Amino acid sequence: MRSVDIDAVLAALAPLRGRPVSWRPLAGGLSHHVYRVDAGPDSYVLRVLEPAVHAAGLGIEPALEVANTVAAARSGVGPRVFAVLPEVPALLIEYLEGQTLSAAGVPPRLVPVAAACRRLHAGPRFANDFDIRARLDQLLDVCARHDLAPPAGYADRLSTVDDVAAALRHDPPPAVPCHNDLLPENLIDTGAAVRIVDYQLSGNNDPTFELGDIAAEADLDPDTTAALAAAYFGPALTPALVARTRLNLLLSNTTWTLWFAVHHGLLSSPGSGFDYQGEAADKWRQACRDLDAPDLGALIDAVAGRAVPPGAAVCRAVPPPDPYPVPDPEETP
């Protein structure tokens, strides 16, 4: 990871020129350099992109991330973009006041989380496409080239992963602009809506991967995962869409296992405060849980368009309540 002269970067940003500026690192970023910047009464986030992240296969090209961050801002879900320095590369973006979510904070907010995803997905298309199975192969190649060992037994489970990926290629929903890395810390509850930050792995993709990835990162159980799909799809929900979401949860954990293993092997620095190796082991534990789930075959059949055995509990979706309901005008005093 390179060192960054933050003062020089700030001096090059037009919105900050001639203003007293202070800055401090923001906790929580796993790859890039992220800072809070205060200029008088205004607060911003400075996001300095680390080229080594893309070089290691851990993110999209910096120019694509910049373009997608701008597109997400136009959708109203991403933070506003005030300035871009392509040569650094760096972005000066909106500082979102609100609560950064944790895994425990996702289940009570399924409706606003789903609404944020729908708004992003309906916004301007991103500059690139994203495929989770292709990303897994890319990370496997990085591991092979750098002699990084995936968790024990990883290669033995890839044939089942291939079966899942093959099923998901059957009749997929249209690709939409997706974040593709919605760990809870990338979701900010502003009190009126949920906003989405950090477009390091963004690209046009199957929307059920977005939902499955949320469920994986928050470790949602099958019923809560189905409720998230219900919040997103509403009356259009089908058992196949619930099954797609759950299979994409599995692919998320399987692929991001390698992401953390590669980050640990290539980019981690002493004193970073984050256990990338431990996170890889936890992701793999969750992936193995779902690879061994008794209803995996029924999920694959439901997605592939094959008959599901009678009694298989593929879809138990109950729409959750909305914590931010729109008041009925007739009931408003």
Three-class SS of residue 194?
strand
53, 132 Cβ separation under 8 angstroms: no
Q: Does 318 have pLDDT greater than 70?
A: no
Instruction: Give 68-92 pLDDT, tens digit per residue.
Output: 999 999 999 999 999 999 999 999 9
Q: Does 5 have pLDDT greater than 80?
A: yes
Strands 42-48 and 90-94, sheet pairing = antiparallel
Q: Does 326 have pLDDT greater than 70?
A: no
Q: How far apart are CA 243 and CA 222, in angstroms?
A: 10
Q: Does 30 have pLDDT greater than 60?
A: no
Tell me what pLDDT residue 271 has: 53
Instruction: Give 297-312 pLDDT, tens digit per residue.
Output: 999 999 998 876 555 5
Give the angle 317-320-322 at the CA atoms, nearest 5°: 150
Instruction: Give 109-158 pLDDT, tens digit per residue.
Output: 999 999 999 999 999 999 999 999 999 999 999 999 999 999 999 999 99
Mean per-residue pLDDT for 33-41? Answer: 94
- Write the DSSP symbol of residue 150: P
Write down the domain spans for the chain.
Answer: 6-12+22-94, 99-304
Mean per-residue pLDDT for 259-276? Answer: 78
Tell me what pLDDT residue 32 has: 80
Please give the class, per CATH, of domain 99-304: alpha beta
Instruction: Give 145-164 pLDDT, tens digit per residue.
Output: 999 999 999 999 999 999 99
Q: Does 285 have pLDDT greater than 80?
A: yes
Q: Which amino acid is at 26?
A: L
**What percent of the chain has a predicted confidence (pLDDT) above 90?**
78
Cβ neighbours of 151 (radius 10 Å): 18
pLDDT top residue among 26 and 134 = 134
pLDDT band at 28 (very low <50, low <70, confident <90, very high): low
Q: Does 333 have pLDDT greater than 60?
A: no
pLDDT band at 19 (very low <50, low <70, confident <90, very high): very high
Q: Does 184 have pLDDT greater than 80?
A: yes
Tell me what pLDDT residue 219 has: 97
Backbone angles phi, psi at 139, to 5 degrees: -70, -35
**What percent of the chain has a predicted confidence (pLDDT) above 70?**
89
Of 54-63, 192-201, 316-325, the least confident: 316-325
Phi-psi group of 147: left, alpha or beta (phi > 0 → left; psi -120 to 50 → alpha; rest → beta): left
Strand partners, 188: 100, 195
Q: How far apart are CA 20 and CA 7, in angstroms?
A: 12
Tell me what pLDDT residue 276 has: 86
Q: Does 269 have pLDDT greater than 80?
A: no
pLDDT band at 315 (very low <50, low <70, confident <90, very high): low
CATH topology of domain 6-12+22-94: Phosphorylase Kinase; domain 1 (3.30.200)
Q: How far apart are CA 93 and CA 81, in angstroms?
A: 4
Cβ neighbours of 141 (radius 10 Å): 11
> For all residues of the chain together, what is the average pLDDT?
90
